[in-house]
């Protein structure tokens, strides 16, 4: 059995939640079916959920941003994955870089 993607697993999870409706499962006109729409309703249709997921790895873009700053004395030493904003906030001009 092939392994499910994160997107597939999330859809299975959200479809199992109480009070969440898949918009694609609703009866629609052909025009509604082909138009752009969100993915889910929740909380008696007071909340609209749009599922978005990254299909490509953006690590190389983050590395391009960080590369010129790694030699700075105030650049933080960290291990594992950090959000770019958390790394840049340690630099005096970090808000300008993010």
Task: Give pLDDT, residue 41.
Answer: 96
Contact 29, 73 (CB under 8 A): no
CA distance 69 to 8: 38
Q: What's the pLDDT tens digit per position in 57-92?
A: 777 887 888 888 788 888 777 777 777 777 777 677
| pTM for the structure as a whole | 0.53
Longest dimension (CA), the chain: 61
Q: What's the pLDDT tens digit per position in 4-43?
A: 888 888 899 999 999 999 999 999 999 999 999 999 999 9
């Amino acid at each position: 059995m092939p392994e499910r993607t994160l997107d597939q697993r999330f859809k299975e999870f959200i479809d199992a939640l109480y009070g969440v409706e898949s918009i694609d499962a609703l009866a629609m006109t052909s025009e509604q079916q082909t138009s752009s729409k969100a993915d889910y309703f929740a909380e008696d249709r007071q909340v609209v959920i749009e599922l978005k997921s990254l299909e490509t790895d953006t690590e190389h873009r983050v590395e391009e941003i960080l590369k010129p700053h790694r030699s700075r004395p105030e650049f933080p030493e960290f291990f594992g994955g950090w959000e770019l904003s958390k790394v840049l906030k340690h630099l005096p001009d970090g808000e300008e870089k993010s």
